[in-house]
Amino acid sequence: MLAVLEAPLPANRYFPVDLVPLASHPAILRLGEPVQRQVRARHLLRYLHFTRALEIGTVNRVVEEMCFPNRSMGLWERLPAETQQHVANEAYSIYREEAEHALEAHKLLGDIEAQSGVRWDRRERPTRLNLLNQRIAAEVDPQRGFLLLFGFVCVSETLVTQTLCRLPTDPKLLPSVRKFAADHARDEARHARFFSALFAQVWQVLNDSEREFLGRELVGFLRMFGQLDSESIAAELDEYGFSRTERDTLVQDLGVVSSGRLRQEAARALRMFQEAGVFLNPSLRADFVAAGLLDPS
């Protein structure tokens, strides 16, 4: 059932339509502006929820290890002493900034809920983070589990998503949404430089078997970021009154992010792997070529 809104904003105040795959689907377009508004408000809420979950539950788990090593089990200690000091110093700033991003996402989420009349369930676990946590849980060696977490965070900190690029400059969006994205993008540009350099330094001190292990996961991490939050979108479609079959077909239509768009968003992450020397290993390079993320040489 649709919520009754007191002062409904146009849908384009919440999110640009071309960044919301569900909003452009003919089955949704047919339902008109009230549903279009809800779809785009929900997309914004999903994005804000993902941001607060990623920052607190994933990125800061790695940053915490830089401040108080535990599960990293000697990984940082293999780095030169001056690098260890630099990493520890930066880690405190990054920890605070990521917590601020989560706080700002949390506050904005509350404002959008109040304004749009759409409620968000904060217990929801974004698909990408579920996939990561399942992969880590399947790893028996805790140091390798940490390497997975570290690799995923290096990818997430160097992806330049269309969302983060576009939101600050779209004049139709709510000013609070634009400001949130602009502030976040500014900090993330610095984090990307830090994590790119750290990834290269860590790659140098990994042994061959660790490089092979982590290297095999990198394409999978990039692909995780192309995943839709299918369960969340299916529950949303239930609210709009679609039958189970219509709902499942629609979710299937949305698919995953194309390898072309993923390659574009991952350009900086791919450069990080290149600079670290990941592609010097022909079989790791072949994984990226097979995934359409690198051209065959």
Stretch that binds Fe ion, among 15-23, 187-195, 208-216, 263-271 (CB under 5 A): 187-195
Q: How far apart are CA 147 and CA 211, in angstroms?
A: 10
By beta-carbon distance, which residue lies closest to Fe ion? 191
Q: Give whichever of 144 and 268 is closer to Fe ion, judged by the CB atom.
A: 268
Is position 49 an interface residue for Fe ion (rule: CB under 5 A)? no
Distance CA 285, CA 297 (A): 10
Which residue, 201 or 230, has its beta carbon nearer to Fe ion?
201
Give least dist CB 164 to Fe ion, A: 9
Contacts of 281 (CB under 8 A, 6+ apart): 211, 212, 215
Q: Does 247 bind Fe ion (CB under 5 A)?
A: no
Residue among 11 and 266 whose Cβ is closer to Fe ion: 266
Record the tokens describing residue 71, joined without a space.
Answer: 């599960």
Shortest Å distance, C-beta 32 to Fe ion: 36
What is the CB-side half-sphere exposure of residue 3 using CA atoms within 13 A? Answer: 19
Q: How far is CA 78 from CA 81, 201, 204, 206, 287, in A?
A: 9, 10, 10, 9, 28
Q: How far is it, in rounded angstroms, from Cα 103 to Cα 27?
A: 35
Distance in Å, CB of 7 to Fe ion, minimum: 31
Q: Which of 124, 120, 147 is nearest to 57 (CA)?
A: 124
Q: How far is the CB of 18 from Fe ion (least distance, A)?
A: 24
Q: Is 191 in the site for Fe ion (CB under 5 A)?
A: yes
| Interface region with Fe ion, contact rule CB under 5 A, candidates 135-143, 185-193, 199-207, 263-271 | 185-193
DSSP string, 258-272: -HHHHHHHTHHHHHH
Among 49, 101, 247, 263, binds Fe ion (CB under 5 A): 101
Q: How far is the CB of 155 from Fe ion (least distance, A)?
A: 12
Query: What amino acid occupies position 155?
Result: V
Q: How far is the CB of 157 from Fe ion (least distance, A)?
A: 5
- The footprint of Fe ion (CB under 5 A) covers 98, 101, 157, 188, 191
